[in-house]
């Protein structure tokens, strides 16, 4: 008999890995300790709780993930299986995603190159991803042409902006016979709203800024973004549960999580925080950076339901390692979910938030 209740965990006695080992068997059987065990916990939290039918899943995307191909390999399949309901991304990820829909190539390379020589040859480097400088110029020109259309000559949220852009990207994919290569196009088709927490902080924002100098009428409504994302989360909590999958950290992480303080602290609507918190990060919490802020710290802000803190996992590893593993595990072990198509519901969700704030619906904190 064990002398301590601490010794009730599964014995460390994995099966040998062979050529027939599946991704689910690999994670469940061989990821037993250290950050591998945290990744196993992440896979299980995602598939056993976060992907239940009554859970709304928000994903934040930080770091240069689309240039590394993770839009195509992981995020688009997750959207197609109904595993992602809404997204907050850096503008850079969406800008670089656009290259693929335009038939422009990015290439595998090396991080150990002479950047002075690359500059002379007109080659851009993102660590070990390389591409021609003309890719930037072509994409800039493409965006400036698109936003000259009448439908862009107004103020709009980033979700509306990205939805409209996604339609152009999907048509571009079709005309070039590229298949599904663009995250923006996939989100457009699936009705997944995409927000950018810092819309001016990317080449997309810079090209909008130039077009404004040229007399363009496009303006981004930041307040609409804040209220729409809060409306999505409020609706999730009223009909079920809310989950956040945080890839990296930075501004998108906070924008996903601040929905609850906006609901509770600023709007005065009674709520208790997100139900499930899953983050993949390599940032330390002890340096005071937001990217490494722990779930328990988020509880103090009202971002996470304190009663559900055990349903919070942080895996300290590279997203480019963890996300493909999690995607393969989820697709292999969980059936597709019905698409929520939240973009199509945004007007009604916004009205619901406004009504609760105004006190027309029971639940407003007084």
Is residue 52 predicted with pLDDT exceeding 60?
yes
Q: Give mean pLDDT, residues 325-352.
A: 98
Tell me, what's the pLDDT at 292?
Answer: 62
Tell me, what's the pLDDT at 303?
Answer: 72
Tell me, what's the pLDDT at 69?
Answer: 98
Q: Give the model's confidence band at 362: pLDDT under 50 very low, under 70 low, under 90 confident, else very high.
A: low
Distance CA 353, CA 362 (A): 12
Is residue 366 predicted with pLDDT exceeding 50?
no
Q: What is the tens place of the pLDDT at every residue in 6-20?
A: 888 889 999 999 999
Q: Give mean pLDDT, residues 170-179.
A: 97
Is residue 30 predicted with pLDDT exceeding 70?
yes
Number of H helices, E strands in the chain: 16, 11
Is residue 166 predicted with pLDDT exceeding 80?
yes
What b-and-e string marks burial along 28-45, b requiring 16 or more CB atoms within 10 Å of the CB? Answer: bbebeeebbebbbbbbbb
Q: Are residues 182 and 273 in the same domain?
A: yes
Give catalytic status of residue 303 as yes or no: yes
Average pLDDT, the chain: 93
In a domain, 181, yes or no: yes
In a domain, 130, yes or no: yes
Give all strands of the β-sheet with 123-126 in edge-to-edge order: 107-108, 129-132, 123-126
Is residue 364 predicted with pLDDT exceeding 60?
no
Within the chain, what is the greatest distance between any pair of CA atoms? 79
Q: What is the tens place of the pLDDT at every residue in 268-316?
A: 999 999 999 999 998 877 777 666 677 777 777 777 777 766 778 999 9
In a domain, 295, yes or no: yes
Q: How many domains does the chain have?
A: 2
What the block records as the tokens of 122 is: 């007109």
Q: Are residues 58 and 30 in the same domain?
A: no
Q: Are residues 73 and 21 in the same domain?
A: no
Q: Give the model's confidence band at 365: pLDDT under 50 very low, under 70 low, under 90 confident, else very high.
A: very low
Instruction: Indicate the pTM of the whole model.
Output: 0.94
In a domain, 111, yes or no: yes
Q: What is the tens place of the pLDDT at every residue in 73-127?
A: 999 999 999 999 999 999 999 999 999 999 999 999 999 999 999 999 999 999 9
Q: What is the tens place of the pLDDT at every residue in 237-271?
A: 999 999 999 999 999 999 999 999 999 999 999 99
Rg of the chain in Å (alpha carbons): 21
Is residue 179 predicted with pLDDT exceeding 90?
yes
Tell me, what's the pLDDT at 209?
Answer: 98
Q: Are residues 159 and 299 in the same domain?
A: yes
Where a domain ends, among 50, 68, 92?
A: 50
Distance CA 169, CA 134 (A): 19
Where a domain ends, among 312, 327, 344?
A: 312
Lowest pLDDT segment from 142-156, 271-285, 350-364: 350-364
Q: Are residues 65 and 199 in the same domain?
A: yes
In a domain, 228, yes or no: yes
**CATH assignment at residue 129:** 3.40.910.10
Tokens 């390389």 locate to 130
Residue from 237, 241, 253, 303 carrying the catalytic annotation: 303
Tell me, what's the pLDDT at 309?
Answer: 66
In a domain, 356, yes or no: no
Residue 352, C-beta contacts closer than 8 angstroms, at least 6 positions apart: 231, 234, 235, 238, 361
Tell me, what's the pLDDT at 361?
Answer: 56
Q: Are residues 183 and 45 in the same domain?
A: no
The boundaries of the domain holding residue 30 are 16-50
Q: Are residues 154 and 26 in the same domain?
A: no
Write the CA distances from 336 to 14, 51, 179, 276, 330, integer angstroms.
30, 9, 20, 19, 9
């Amino acid at each position: 008999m064990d002398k301590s209740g601490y010794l009730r965990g599964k014995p460390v006695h994995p099966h040998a890995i062979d050529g027939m080992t599946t991704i689910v068997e690999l994670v469940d059987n061989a990821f037993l300790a250290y950050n591998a065990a945290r990744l196993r916990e992440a896979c299980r939290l995602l598939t056993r709780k976060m992907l239940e039918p009554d859970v709304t899943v928000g994903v934040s995307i930080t770091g240069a993930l689309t240039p590394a191909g993770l839009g195509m390999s992981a995020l688009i399949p997750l959207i197609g299986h109904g595993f992602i309901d809404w997204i907050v991304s850096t503008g850079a990820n969406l800008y670089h995603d656009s290259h693929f829909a335009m038939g422009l190539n990015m290439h595998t390379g090396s991080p150990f190159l002479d950047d002075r020589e690359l500059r002379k040859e007109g080659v851009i480097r993102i660590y070990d991803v390389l591409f021609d400088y003309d890719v930037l110029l072509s994409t800039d020109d493409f965006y400036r042409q698109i936003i000259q259309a009448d439908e862009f000559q107004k103020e709009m949220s980033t979700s509306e902006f990205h939805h409209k852009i996604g339609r152009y990207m999907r048509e571009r994919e079709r005309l070039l016979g590229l298949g599904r290569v663009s995250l923006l196009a996939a989100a457009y088709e699936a009705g997944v709203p995409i927000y950018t927490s810092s819309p001016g902080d990317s080449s997309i924002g810079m090209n909008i800024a130039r077009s404004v100098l040229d007399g363009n009428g496009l303006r981004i409504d930041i307040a609409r973004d804040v209220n729409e994302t809060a409306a999505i989360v409020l609706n999730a909590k009223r009909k079920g549960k809310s989950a956040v999958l945080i890839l990296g950290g930075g501004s998108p992480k906070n924008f996903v999580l601040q929905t609850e303080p906006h609901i509770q602290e600023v709007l005065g609507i009674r709520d208790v925080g997100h139900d499930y918190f899953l983050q993949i990060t390599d940032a330390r919490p002890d340096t005071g950076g937001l990217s490494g802020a722990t779930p328990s710290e988020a509880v103090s802000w009202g971002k996470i339901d304190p009663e559900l803190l055990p349903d919070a996992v942080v895996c300290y590893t590279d997203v480019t390692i963890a996300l493909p593993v999690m995607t393969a595990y989820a697709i292999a072990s969980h059936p597709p979910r019905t698409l929520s198509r939240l973009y199509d519901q945004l007007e009604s969700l916004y009205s619901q938030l406004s009504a609760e704030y105004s006190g027309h619906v029971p639940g407003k904190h007084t």
